[in-house]
């Protein structure tokens, strides 16, 4: 089965040799299953999955967040139907993730994927800013895109981190690619782009549904002006000059963990990045930045759906029952991939999983074990401050951690919006979305670094059209109208 490699091992250890992998294999053997993990660089997921599906040489379980890919492969007859297999071999799966099974994973009324369940929907892209930098400059957190620019410019010119003006990279941002770990969601929401279209692998708001018509982000003036904004940021050194080549997000990680960056938009919560940065800069403090006020005066951010990762079994699998049995083993041993080995990595107190030795966990499990969890993302809903203090009781600063994380959860609760789930056949998307996405990775990068932005943007739009962008939008429009979709841009 597939296992993502995020190139983040702290000591060079191979994923297949780690303690949780070994323990999972042991538990699977008790069920008569021999499990081998196929390590896959996160940035190559789409490419590898397409190769595997075309060649028939892939693992027994393939994983993706791309619902369109699941629809395409189901339509092509490339996936096993899972209704009967789940009923027969997945009783623990059904008990564990009922809500996500109800929400997603079907196509034309039949199940082709087992979707992981997000225990908390506060599990998506979020903006973070260095509070210690703001404090040194006597500045308040920015509330609009224009204010964000002024803040990042001040970070560059005044160097509040004392790293040297030439070394400051105010906004940590990697290459526009499938494996990117830093995103555009928050800033682009602030520019007026919403999530009225299906989720894609572009890691930015999909587009707007206005007056009964859907327009992809790149077809909107708001989208164009946002990338003009990024172009300006690039020219002024407010994002990395090397961001185009940072396809594995290694420079992105280096920028914020080394303390040279002061703003980012990523999936990590603010305490996680604070902890990482404090290894180099002990006084660093990342905090949640609430959604920027949009041109229409509203605020919004992308909230995760109840479903997440999709587990699929390709028709090339000779034993689909064994694949479902493995997922059921995961369900039986879900704590193992939610928190580690009980009594070794965590203890349970009042329903909370409390780390026994955070330093040991950081070295031994934290960098990979959640990717082994194909069935849940997290283990509980949004915690209260008191619960967080208990969760982090073994840390030297549980009160501070709770103070950092509480606004993060409340921001999702107050401003979070979810995009549409279109679960009907979309032949145009099946044909064009991969080419559109691949084209935009390259074309948008060129626009960001272009000397003549307007000329380069013409290439973005014309290429998008040549790859079927207008037909894609028309098909999305048809589906949104049919489901009486209400825009998220209000």
- Dump pLDDT digits (tens) for 154-197: 999 999 999 999 999 999 999 998 778 899 999 999 999 999 99
Beta strands 110-111 and 106-107: pairing type? Answer: antiparallel
- The CA distance from 207 to 198, in Å, is 9
Q: What letter would DSSP give residue 42? A: G
- The CA distance from 272 to 270, in Å, is 5
Q: Which of 327, 362, 379 is a domain's end point?
A: 379
Do 103 and 134 lie in a common domain?
A: no
Do 165 and 210 lie in a common domain?
A: yes
Written as six digits, the tokens of 220 are 């909107």
CA 10 and chain centroid, separation? 21
Quick one: average pLDDT of 190-218? 95
- Helix (H/G/I), strand (E/B), else coil: 164: coil
Quick one: average pLDDT of 194-220? 94
Tell me, yes or no, whether 401 lies in a domain.
no
Do 358 and 325 lie in a common domain?
A: yes
**Residue in 20, 53, 57, 16 with CA at minimum distance from that of residue 36:** 16
Do 329 and 453 lie in a common domain?
A: no
Tell me, yes or no, whether 384 lies in a domain.
no
Do 148 and 92 lie in a common domain?
A: no
Q: Are 377 and 123 contacting, i.e. CB atoms less than 8 angstroms apart?
A: yes
Quick one: average pLDDT of 290-310? 95
| Neighbour tally for 103: CB within 10 Å | 16
Domain count, the chain: 2
Do 248 and 261 lie in a common domain?
A: yes
**Residue in 187, 214, 179, 119 with CA at minimum distance from that of residue 478:** 214
Q: Which of 379, 403, 434 is a domain's end point?
A: 379
Residue 202 has pLDDT above 90, yes or no: no
pLDDT at 41: 83
Quick one: average pLDDT of 19-26? 94
Tell me, yes or no, whether 320 lies in a domain.
yes
pLDDT at 486: 95
Written as six digits, the tokens of 307 are 């479903």
Q: How far apart are the first and last CA of the chain?
A: 42
49 pLDDT tier (thresholds 50, 70, 90): very high
Please give the residue range of the domain that contains residue 470.
Answer: 126-303+420-482
Tell me, yes or no, whether 140 lies in a domain.
yes
Q: Which are the contacts of 266, defined by CB distance < 8 A and separation ≥ 6?
A: 125, 126, 128, 181, 182, 183, 273
- The CA distance from 469 to 293, in Å, is 29
Which CATH number do you get for residue 31? 3.40.190.10
Written as six digits, the tokens of 394 are 């073994």
Do 310 and 258 lie in a common domain?
A: no
- The CA distance from 379 to 339, in Å, is 9
Quick one: average pLDDT of 340-368? 91
Whose tokens are 């040549």? That residue is: 466
Mapping DSSP onto H, E and C, the string for 87-146 reads: HHHCHHHHHHCHHHHHHCCEECCEECCEEEEECCCCCCCEEEEEHHHHHHHCCCCCCCHH
**Residue in 482, 490, 468 with CA at minimum distance from that of residue 421:** 482
- The CA distance from 403 to 388, in Å, is 9
Q: What letter would DSSP give residue 86? A: H
Do 315 and 298 lie in a common domain?
A: no
Written as six digits, the tokens of 6 are 């995020």
Provide the mean pLDDT of the chain.
Answer: 94
**Residue in 141, 124, 142, 123 with CA at minimum distance from that of residue 132:** 141
| Range in 40-44, 87-91, 130-134, 155-159 with the lowest mean pLDDT | 40-44
Quick one: average pLDDT of 265-276? 96
| Neighbour tally for 26: CB within 10 Å | 11
Residue 304 has pLDDT above 90, yes or no: no
Do 157 and 19 lie in a common domain?
A: no
Do 318 and 465 lie in a common domain?
A: no
- Rounded to 10°, the helix 469-482/453-466 angle is 70
Q: pTM here?
A: 0.78
- The CA distance from 447 to 179, in Å, is 19
Torsion of CA 417, 423, 427, 433, to 10 degrees: 30
Tell me, yes or no, whether 392 lies in a domain.
no
Do 281 and 359 lie in a common domain?
A: no
Mark residue 307 as left, alpha or beta (left: phi above 0; alpha: psi -120 to 50; beta: remaining): beta
Which is more confident, 335 or 381? 335
Tell me, yes or no, whether 247 lies in a domain.
yes
Tell me, yes or no, whether 65 lies in a domain.
yes
Residue 88 has pLDDT above 80, yes or no: yes
224 pLDDT tier (thresholds 50, 70, 90): very high
Tell me, yes or no, whether 387 lies in a domain.
no
Q: What share of the chain is helix, strand, coil (3-state, %, to 5)?
A: 45, 15, 40
Do 276 and 256 lie in a common domain?
A: yes
């Amino acid at each position: 089965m597939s296992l993502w490699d995020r190139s983040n091992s702290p000591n060079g250890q191979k994923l297949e040799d780690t303690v949780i992998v070994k323990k999972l294999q042991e538990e699977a053997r008790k069920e008569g299953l021999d499990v081998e993990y196929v390590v896959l660089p996160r940035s190559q997921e789409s490419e590898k999955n397409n190769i595997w599906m075309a060649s028939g040489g892939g693992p027994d379980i393939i994983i993706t967040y791309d619902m369109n890919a699941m629809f395409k492969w189901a339509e092509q007859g490339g996936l096993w139907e899972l209704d009967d297999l789940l009923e027969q071999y997945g009783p623990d799966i059904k008990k564990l993730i009922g809500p996500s099974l109800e929400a997603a994973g079907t196509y034309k009324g039949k199940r082709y994927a087992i979707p992981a369940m997000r225990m908390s929907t506060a599990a998506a892209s979020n903006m973070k800013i260095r509070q210690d930098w703001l404090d040194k400059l006597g500045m308040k957190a920015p509330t609009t895109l224009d204010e964000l620019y002024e803040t990042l410019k001040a970070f560059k010119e005044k160097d509040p981190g004392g790293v040297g003006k030439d070394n400051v990279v105010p906004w940590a941002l990697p290459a526009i690619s499938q494996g990117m770990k830093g995103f555009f969601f928050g800033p682009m929401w602030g520019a007026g782009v919403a999530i009225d279209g299906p989720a894609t692998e572009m890691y930015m708001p999909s587009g707007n549904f206005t007056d009964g018509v859907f327009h992809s982000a790149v077809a909107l003036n708001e989208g164009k002006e946002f990338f003009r904004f990024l172009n300006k940021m690039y020219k002024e050194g407010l994002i990395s000059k090397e961001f185009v080549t940072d396809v594995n997000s290694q420079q992105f990680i280096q920028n914020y963990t080394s303390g040279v960056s002061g703003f980012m938009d990523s999936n990590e919560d603010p305490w996680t990045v604070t902890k990482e940065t404090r290894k180099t800069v002990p006084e660093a403090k990342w905090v949640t930045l609430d959604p920027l006020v949009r041109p229409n005066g509203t605020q919004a951010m992308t909230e995760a759906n109840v479903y997440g990762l999709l587990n699929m079994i390709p028709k090339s699998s000779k034993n689909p029952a064994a694949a479902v049995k493995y997922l059921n083993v995961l369900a039986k041993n879900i704590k193992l991939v939610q928190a580690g080995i009980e009594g070794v990595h965590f203890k349970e107190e009042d329903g909370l999983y409390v780390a026994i030795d955070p330093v040991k966990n950081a070295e031994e499990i934290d960098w990979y074990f959640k990717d082994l969890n194909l069935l849940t993302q997290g283990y509980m809903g949004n915690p209260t401050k008191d619960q967080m203090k208990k969760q982090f009781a073994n840390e030297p600063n549980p009160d501070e951690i709770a103070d950092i994380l509480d606004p993060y959860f409340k921001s999702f609760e107050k401003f979070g919006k979810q995009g549409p789930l279109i679960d009907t056949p979309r032949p145009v998307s099946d044909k064009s979305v991969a080419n559109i996405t691949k084209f935009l990775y390259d074309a948008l990068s060129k626009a960001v670094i272009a000397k003549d932005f307007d000329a380069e943007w013409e290439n973005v739009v014309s290429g998008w059209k040549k790859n079927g962008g207008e037909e894609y939008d028309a098909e999305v429009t048809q589906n949104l109208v049919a489901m009486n979709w209400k825009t998220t841009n209000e």
